[in-house]
Amino acid sequence: MIFIQALQHKGAAMVMRQVLDELRQPAMRRGSVRMLCASLLAASTEGIGFVLLVPLLASLDAEASNLPLAGFASGLPLSVLLALFVALVGLRAGAEVWRVLSVQDVSRALVDSLRMNAVQNMLGARWRWLSGLREGEAEALLVSDIDRCAYAVEMLATLVRLALALAALLAAAIVVSPPAALVAIAGGLFAYLLFAPVRRKARMIGEELSARHDTVHTQLSRTMRGLRVIKSFGKESEHARMLENGFSALRRTERAYVGSSAIAQAILQVGGGAVTALAIWVAVTTLSIPLPTVLVLTAIFVRALPLIGQVQAHAQGWAHASPAFESARKFIGASKAHADAVASAPAPEFKSVLSLRDVGVRFAGRQGALSGIDLDIASNRLVVICGPSGSGKSTLADICSGLTFPDSGTVAINGIRLELSMLCSWRSRTAYVQQEAVIFGGTVRDNLRFADAHATEDQMWAALEEAHAGFVRDLPDGLDCPVGATGRELSGGEKQRIALARALLRSPDLIILDEATSALDSASEKAIAEALRSMTEKTTVIAIAHRGILPKLADQVIRLERGGVVAP
């Protein structure tokens, strides 16, 4: 009953079903069974140990031979009874060690399963949904919220253990004296039920804590990405204060939970002490229970009292942490609902023309939508898309590369309509170079092999030369030169040319460059422009550019305004 009440708060039933679904996974099933068996063993040995006190006392007092279970002591020496008692204590201690390790294994397995489930479904989601995630949302969930799920499982596992322990003590009390046990049970349940509002408050604080974690991660993400701008504008103190306010709000929320839990514990201990005293008084004055039995009941009640307090504390802990599990499941569910199309059909090789007919894309509440796009892009051409910010340039590039599927209209390659089932296959024939080149930590070789793990040195050097990235030969150790985290050892132009060489190693039918030259100096821009121009002998290049020399070199210029094509 106590355990059920611990879970009866808003949303708990749904979260409980989700947790149980996770624990039934093959990787966690054995650990969950071990955890339950260990909890049962620890609880039962404790209950049996208290019941054994009755024959122990009876063996010491001849007048107590008529006590319940006293006959169990007849014929057994005191040494045997004491040895049985010590063995039970040892068995319980071993079971508790087994239980703690099982809980650790299950909670870690659950966290790993949730985290990898979230990562895999996020990576498998459609780009349109991914691009709409709030800044820092995924990071906060994958790092903080899912770690809190381990805490929720630990709280739940401890609740199970405490419920079983209380049940064992209850059974022992009933065996020793049913009337006194019923008085204590009624008082304990009444005291516990009074704390339902405290548990509801703990859940609300848990939901608030999830929101605080999201806010802090978003602020940290923005700050880390904008360090250069922050320093150049002299906004270090302002951003430090912003982060300090976020951390302070997080700590205040955590403190509110700790304070609520501590107050509840204090009240529960006082109330539990009063109930214990009442039960003993009734046992002695009203029920006329013998003193040895009263002593055993007192020991049981004194042991049960802190357990009831722990149930309250862990019920609050569960209510506090369970929203994190709910958030993780919602994120995974949303990722699955927006899963990318499965590659079930091959896409045609881009040999002649990429055609868009009456293509439209709509983003709720966001700019960049397209409407009525009619275009033909010939193969082996340098095509430049230009237009003001928010005109739909990146969206059009995403449509051409297969990252996004249009809401209306058709996309065709060589006259063959591109279906949803072909998107993954078509993307494997394209390569994308974004405005801020993504360079991974490691060496130049590591970055190139991201595109083709089996690329030979000759292939890598050929791609670097084609991307006008011959400067790599002059780097210390050449291909094995470390580039630093995010390529910090390279200039912006060098990073873009390595990214371009990496794209070429894929031997794509189509290369998309999203503002890849907008932040480069004139020399770097010219080098990349010449590289793009020469690439059209082997592939088609679509480059997004506001200005510069690319439009002058282009075979075709597409100008967008307000989501539609206008005359260049």
Structure confidence at residue 4 (pLDDT): 40
CA torsion through residues 96, 97, 99, 104, sign:
positive
Residue written as token pair 């394209």:
430
DSSP for residue 64 = G
Question: Residue 533 burial (CB < 10 Å; 0-12/13-18/19+)?
Answer: middle
Hey, which bits of 324-443 come out as E strands?
353-361, 370-378, 382-386, 408-413, 416-417, 430-433
Give the 3-state DSSP-derived string for 426-460, with helices as H, strands as E and coil as C: HHCCEEEECCCCCCCCCEHHHHHCCCCCCCCHHHH
Q: What would the mean pLDDT of 51-72 be, rounded to a whole number? A: 55
Mean pLDDT for 15-22 is 66
Res 315 pLDDT > 80: no
Average pLDDT over residues 229-256: 76
- pTM (2 d.p.): 0.65
CATH of 2-337, one of 2.40.50.140, 1.20.1560.10, 3.40.50.1820, 3.90.79.10: 1.20.1560.10
Considering only residues 241 and 268, tell me which one the structure prediction assigns the higher pLDDT.
241
CA distances from 99 to 31, 157, 165, 301 (A): 10, 9, 13, 24
The whole-angstrom separation of Cα 137 and Cα 220 is 11
Non-local CB neighbours of 423 within 8 Å, separated by 6+ positions: 340, 341, 343, 347, 402, 405
Whole-number pLDDT of residue 323: 76
Average pLDDT estimate for 190-196: 65
Residues pairing with 355 in the sheet: 376, 412
Q: What is the mean pLDDT of the chain?
A: 77
State both tokens at 371: 């409407």
pLDDT for the residue numbered 267: 67
pLDDT bin (cut points 50, 70, 90) of residue 50 is: low
Average pLDDT over residues 250-266: 72
pLDDT at 228 over 70: no
For the residues 235-263, what does the mean pLDDT come to? 77
The tens digit of pLDDT for each residue in 477-505 reads 888 988 877 777 788 778 888 888 888 88
Task: Report the topology of domain 353-566.
Answer: Rossmann fold (3.40.50)
Residue 365's pLDDT band, with cuts at 50, 70 and 90, is: low
Per-residue pLDDT at 8 exceeds 60 = no
129-133, 213-217, 460-464: the lowest-pLDDT one: 213-217
DSSP strand pairing (382-386 vs 540-544): parallel
410 three-state secondary structure? strand
pLDDT at 513: 86
Question: How would DSSP label each residue in 527-559?
Answer: HHHHHHHHHTTTSEEEEE-SSSSHHHH-SEEEE
In terms of Cα–Cα distance, which of 347, 194, 339 is closest to 264? Answer: 194
Please give the structure tokens belonging to residue 123.
């990576």
Q: What is the spatial order of strands in the sheet that 416-417 belongs to?
A: 370-378, 353-361, 408-413, 416-417
Look at 3 and 78; give whichever has higher pLDDT: 78
Question: What pLDDT band is residue 515 in, cutting at 50, 70 and 90?
Answer: confident
- Give the pLDDT score at 310: 74
CA 153: distance to chain centroid?
14
Within 73-195, residue ranges assigned H as helices are 78-123, 127-131, 137-140, 146-176, 178-193
CA neighbours within 13 Å on the CB side: how many for 137? 16
pLDDT digits (tens, 9 = 90+) for 29-47: 777 788 788 888 877 777 7
Q: Mean of the pLDDT values across residues 172-196? A: 70
- Residue 145 pLDDT more than 80? no
Q: Pseudo-torsion of CA 91, 92, 98, 103, nearest 10°?
A: 170
Check whether 378 has a pLDDT greater than 90. yes
Indicate the pLDDT class of residue 3, thresholds 50, 70 and 90. very low
Angle value at C-alpha 207, between 196 and 159, nearest 5 degrees: 50
What integer pLDDT is reported at residue 165 of this predicted model?
Answer: 81
Residue 422 DSSP label:
G
Q: Average pLDDT in the 97-119 region?
A: 82
pLDDT at residue 64 is higher than 60: no
* 561: enclosing H helix or E strand: strand 556-561
- Kindly tell me if the per-residue pLDDT of 62 is higher than 60: no
Which position has the token pair 């509801």?
200
Band of the pLDDT at 355, cuts 50, 70, 90? Answer: very high
- Lowest-confidence segment of 57-61, 69-73, 222-226 by average pLDDT: 69-73
Residues 324 and 119: their CA atoms lie apart, in Å, by 16
Give 416's strand partners.
413
Q: Look at residue 516 and tell me whether its pLDDT is greater than 80.
A: no
Confidence of residue 271 (pLDDT cuts 50, 70, 90): low
Instruction: Tell me the domain boundaries of the chain.
Output: 2-337, 353-566
Residue 400 has pLDDT above 70, yes or no: yes
Q: The tokens of 423 are what?
A: 């998107």
Split at pLDDT 50, 70, 90, the class of 544 is confident
pLDDT at 376 (0 to 100)? 92
Across 223-232, 337-346, 409-418, 548-557, least confident range: 223-232
